[in-house]
A and B are shown apart, each in its own frame.
Chain A
Amino acid sequence: MRIIGVDVGGTFTDLILLDEERRQVRLAKVPTTLENQAFGVLAAVKQAGADLAGIGAVVHGTTTTTNALLERKIARVGLVTTRGFRDVLELGRRTRPKPYGLIGSFEPLIPRELRLEVSERVDAEGAVVEPLDEEGLRQALACLLALDAEALVIHFLHSYINPSHERRAAQIARDLWPNDYVTVGHELMSEYREYERGVTAAVNAAVQPVLHRYIARLEGELKAEGYRGDLLVMQGNGGTVSARLVGEAPATTVMSGPASGVIAAAYTARAAGFANLITYDMGGTSSDVALIQDGVPLVSSEIELEYAMPIHVPMVDVHTIGAGGGSLARIDAAGMLRVGPESAGARPGPICFGRGGSEPTITDANLLLGRLDPGRLLSVAHAVSLDRLRARLVETIGAPLGLDAEQSAAAILRIANDKMAGAIRMVSLARGHDPRDFALFAFGGAGPLHAAALARELGIPRLLIPMRPGLTNALGCVVADLRHDYVRTVNRPVAQLPEGLAREVLSAQIAEGERTLARERAEVEDIRLLHRADMQFQGQSHLLSVELPGVAVTREELQRLFEQAYWQRFGVALPEIRAVLVNLHTAVIGRRRPVDLAALAPAEPAASLDAAQSGARRVWFASGWRETPVYRREALPLGAEFAGPAVIEQLDATTIIEPGDRAAVDPIGNLVVAIGGSG
């Protein structure tokens, strides 16, 4: 089979064409076309020289929905909600953007004039307190249409426990509304918490027309080029969905780019024999961190895309750290060196990009220290001389601190690495894990440059750098399965659960997932099920997620699994307090045929390590300057082993192996690095 994975990132659109029969891979990297991402996708197809007629599947990661939300280029959405509660979406959860400072702003996705109320009320037990006013609903809908609302949200209180009013309202609305853009709160997320459920629905509606138009255009363009296969779209949960259905719940495609990278990491690492990983994707302005346990990426239903924008559909739990290659180094008022969170961004960018940047960044420090090759920078406008760079470093950092240019650059790296390592540690601890129990999987343009130093700082013994660090998201598209997640609130003490309730809920979720997979009509080898329970001790307000062995889980098992997980996480046993089952989850995964990654390995490696060496240069390490060999990644022979220091270069990434570390090239081309003792 020939598969295309194509991922649209902020700067580049990346494509991988994997031809399993011929063990061939073709790659393409073209600039992203922001206005219509389809142009970039087709340009990538052309660059790869792909004949679409012979392709079995195109799997697409798009930032259309994420960007639409962040830039607020969204549809005009109307809301119909329970009388008395239209401002829930504007009042939020009583927060402010930052802990300190009382200045900020917040605009709800649906402006107040488009939020209307109807009489209806269900209570917390699901009893109807006031019937749905159907006539009032019709009037509200007419009013929203008159106000030019394109998409509609129906969001009633307590619909997670009794959805009858939302269902009836949806029936009426779907008759009256001129298009399919009707989002019903409980259908997307059957969980309590009215703000989060409402915002999730609003997010869905706000991007629905945007994504629908984009996918229709892309399908048309692909068809015109002769494509007849399945078009699958990446979701934030790390699975794909058929383009036929993606328009129904477009909120699931938000954050799909980072998720895709983590899926590729899990797949690649599994093939290399690693099950527990921390993934580190370092880009220009920020870095993404995620955890993979037993080969499965951790998933969370509590992601916030930005301040006060929770999207409570299950997503790969990716945490963003405000440090990337473009993070600025500055001296603060206390005379201390700081790196980030401010970033030079793409414009003006680092000084060395020659686009007018005048403040030093992490990338500039890497360049000056020989860790990056000045001759090989991507996206440089005007070459900036190293002398000029040195002078700027001394002016801004060196002079106040009494350091020369190289010392200043070394200081920037040390502080940046310290800060990033601290942030990774917190991400890991917050999820209940000691980072030392994991391997580090580094990708993205800058990840492999810092990974060895970060691993050492974190006490992580092993580091994995995939064959194509800059194309990981596109690879995620190639390897991802179809996946649909379902969550249902139960909210009862375990001891009082009716026997069989869990089985009933989980079975219904399986049936719904299987129905959805059938509607997609995409090629699937088999179906895999994952079940989880969100639990807590009575009186607690946060949840602990517990993996379930199957649908036939008993009360005793639930209790035992939860106590085990709680002990593992907090080291506390609380036999005197009752456990509560809050939510049940099912992920229905339609597994696509496994893809053989061997094709990714270099087609024509050099005969020996020496032959793969392209040169040598002076590179700075914590222990000082070292004359360091430089290797071409494409030429490294499989099975080669060598000790650091070493620099390994490829088109879109540079890897640094530090002194004391040992690197080996595994059978599918990954670099596996054993981190030596500190020093």
Chain B
Amino acid sequence: MTAPPNALDPVTLAVIQNGLVQVCNEMDLAFVRAAFSPVIAEALDRSDGIYHRDDGALIAQGDLGLPVFVGTMQFSTQAVIERAKGVRPGDVFIVNDPYLGGTHLMDVKFVKPFFYRGRLFAWLANTGHWPDTGGSVPGGFSANATEVEQEGLRLPPVKLYKEGTLDEEILSIILSNIRISDQRIGDIKAQAAALAIGEKRFTALLDRYGEDVVETAIAELRARAAQQMRARISAIPDGVYTGEAYVDSDGVEDRPLKIALEIRKAGSELHFDLGGSSPPCRGPMNSVLATTKSSIYLAIKHVFPEVPINAGTFEPLHIADPHGTFLYAQYPRPVSGCAAEVSQRIAEAVFAALVKAIPDLLFAAPAGTSGNFALGGYDPQRQRNYVMYLISGGGYGGSRGLDGIANGCSTIGISKTTPLEVVEQYYPVLFEEYALAEGSGGAGRQRGGFGVRYKLRLRRGEARASFVMDHGRFGPQGALGGDDGGLNTVLVEQSGRAYVPPHLSKDQDIRVVPGDAVTVSTPGGGGYGPAFERTPALVARDVRRGYYTTAEAAERFGVALDAAGEIDAAATARLRHARRGTSDLR
């Protein structure tokens, strides 16, 4: 490659790239360490970045940001740029409107103009998931909302800080409309403080290298990221690859929503067409455009993790607006499920399409649901209302060389579980089981990882249970002949009676009383490659560990084990030959 004229020297370029990311990392750090919301502090459900002055294009993003926010904030920054009037140093806009480049209402963005020597140079922005923004259910994940107003308070871009001063009137409107409002002031201060730190560090970077040099570097880095992404894409064989994925239901009408993705690879570009997907739905499983695009970005980032993220990374990815589908939601469609669930199905469709093109880099589908279980009630012993959220992981898919891991975090998240001992300290529940969901890993040459099965019982007071999960109807897809992973299941024991949600993975306001129990089993990952090609010794080991039964070893893997768990080579050969025979006939 030849360097363009007047190009920056390559070493300064690398140093400035590192410097820009460092500014974002310091914002991420300041935000997470001072935040109150456990969703931010522990689940790391937040992200910080630097955006272009004119078009809001992403310049740099912190290494520690939540994956689902890859690229989303550039859309909300664009919305602020379009609407902002009389921007002054020290202003901070607050916005959570899903239709203005957002995700769901709980993801609240702060956007701050960054001035250098009196001139608007760029925008700094961050997103944090607030535990509540009002609406019909605590936490905002209403499984059967039919319009966005039921999901919470919607904020267009407004200046929460004006020239450095918090607007107490806007604040009071916000705090009057959300639950657990007393702790939100801690989050608001943390979110604004993170941007102030970014401002300080970015100023230092500009002081050191000069405005012109940094500006040139930003443009050059964008071109380089595009070049790097193009290099990766060029290695994919030209062609059209399709992938499908299904959301169980929208929570209101009990029928699956289809994501139909066609990826056309030509030269160094990828064209994504989601136009064949289901039409808009009544329930909260619609996805706004920003989230739809961001889901594709994060899926690509999972496939090529080493490519740095800025607007250039996305240049070779062309995503057609999926007009008329549930993936291009318009006001007032409800959208609470898009960030946590639909985004993961879109990513699954991307994986399913690309595994056919570049099988060595891909993997079978991961569990791909956040497994949100909310229990809200009154604890008579402590005389207080509570809302408990449990989100769960599931198995990852097998890949060319490895089985999937068990209980991995959702595709879009990087959060850790809350320890059971902490959950039991805070809420009137007792866990009876927290176990590996045996058999849930999809069979394959490399099998899927296992989901989790937990059971808890309510000890005191009445409560209501809600579920926003997925993969209750269709397991995570196997790849290249591998089997699908196990299903997500929900079972509520109500006074000894078993209740299974009609939509399997989504339901709301199920009344439970002391002694009632909830059992959830999360999906396993998809298998990779034909299960009958799995090394028999590994199947025997899996049976020894109780991952599968002896019967499953025979049925699902074609491996016969004797009573002592030893491989019966002759019987195994017969089983596997018989399977091969039938597939030859097909």
Contacts and interface: CB of A to CB of B under 8 A. Distances in A.
B536 to A, nearest CB: 18
Nearest to A97: B405
Contact of A193 (B183, B422, B545): B422
22 contacts: A84-B431, A84-B432, A87-B434, A93-B416, A93-B417, A94-B416, A98-B305, A101-B302, A103-B399, A106-B405, A192-B421, A333-B227, A415-B11, A425-B22, A491-B425, A539-B183, A540-B38, A540-B186, A570-B30, A574-B185, A577-B182, A577-B186
Contacts of B421: 124, 157-158, 160, 192-194
What's the dominant secondary structure at chain A's contact region? loop
Interface in A161-218: 192-196
Interface in A402-433: 402-403, 410-411, 414-415, 418-419, 422, 425-426, 429-430
Interface stretch (A334-342, A446-454, A596-604): A334-342
Interface in A261-318: none
B301 interface: yes
Contacts of B307: 333
A540 B308 contact: no
Interface in B243-260: none
Contacts of B418: 541
A115 to B, nearest CB: 9
Contact of B11 (A91, A121, A337): A337
Nearest to B26: A429
Contact of A334 (B308, B430, B435): B308
Contacts of A542: 33, 41-42
A72 to B, nearest CB: 16
Given A93-B416, A94-B408, A101-B302, A85 B433 contact: yes
Interface of A: 84-88, 90-96, 98-106, 111-113, 121, 123-124, 129, 157-158, 160, 192-196, 332-338, 400-403, 410-411, 414-415, 418-419, 422, 425-426, 429-430, 491, 537, 539-542, 569-572, 574, 576-577
A668 B143 CA distance: 70
A105 B417 contact: no
A610 to B, nearest CB: 37
Given A333-B228, A415-B11, A90 B417 contact: no
A43 B301 CA distance: 51
Contact of A540 (B36, B402, B544, B545): B36
Contacts, number: 209
A677 B425 CA distance: 54
B29 interface: yes
Nearest to B227: A334
Interface in B329-361: none
Contacts of B29: 426, 429-430
A572 B190 contact: yes
Interface of B: 1, 3, 10-11, 13-15, 17-19, 22, 25-26, 29-30, 33-36, 38, 41-42, 63-64, 67, 180, 182-183, 185-186, 189-190, 193, 224-225, 227-228, 231-232, 301-302, 305-308, 363, 366, 392-393, 396-397, 399, 401-403, 405-409, 411, 414-422, 424-425, 430-436, 452, 455, 544-547
B15 A414 contact: yes
Given A85-B434, A129-B430, A335-B1, 9 more contacts: A91-B436, A100-B302, A106-B406, A157-B420, A192-B422, A195-B419, A402-B10, A570-B33, A576-B185
B419 A193 contact: yes
A84 B433 contact: yes
Contacts of B414: 95-96, 99
Contacts of A106: 405-406
Contacts of B36: 537, 539-540, 577
A157 B11 CA distance: 54
Nearest to A104: B405
Given A94-B416, A102-B366, A572 B193 contact: yes
Given A84-B431, A402-B3, A411 B10 contact: yes
A103 B399 CA distance: 7
A147 B533 CA distance: 30
Contacts of A429: 26, 29
B185 A91 contact: no
Contacts of A540: 35-36, 38, 41, 186
Contacts of A194: 419-421
A426 B435 contact: no
A130 to B, nearest CB: 10
A415 B15 contact: yes
Contacts of A192: 419, 421-422, 425
A670 to B, nearest CB: 31
Contacts of A577: 36, 182-183, 186
A111 B542 CA distance: 11
B310 to A, nearest CB: 11
Contacts of B33: 430, 542, 569-570
A401 B424 contact: no
Given A94-B415, A102-B396, A334-B224, A112 B546 contact: yes
Contacts of B403: 105
Contacts of B425: 124, 192, 491
Contacts of B10: 335-337, 401-403, 411
B228 A570 contact: no
Given A105-B403, A106-B405, A332-B228, A411 B305 contact: no
B405 A112 contact: no
A411 to B, nearest CB: 4
A456 B33 CA distance: 27
A92 B29 CA distance: 24
Contacts of B305: 98-101
A541 B38 contact: yes
Contact of A102 (B407, B408, B435): B408
Given A86-B435, A333-B231, A415 B14 contact: yes
Contacts of A113: 544-546
Contacts of A491: 425
A426 B25 contact: yes
B435 A123 contact: no
Contacts of A410: 11
A422 B18 contact: yes
B406 A91 contact: yes
A415 B63 CA distance: 18
Contacts of A403: 10
A334 B408 contact: no
B31 to A, nearest CB: 11
Contacts of A335: 1, 10, 224, 227
B183 A337 contact: no
A425 B197 CA distance: 14
Q: By CB atoms of chain B within 10 A, which of A88, A101, A195, A410 has the most?
A: A101
Given A333-B228, A334-B228, A542-B42, A91 B432 contact: no
Given A85-B434, A99-B64, A100-B67, A576 B182 contact: yes
Contacts of B67: 99-100
Nearest to B565: A113
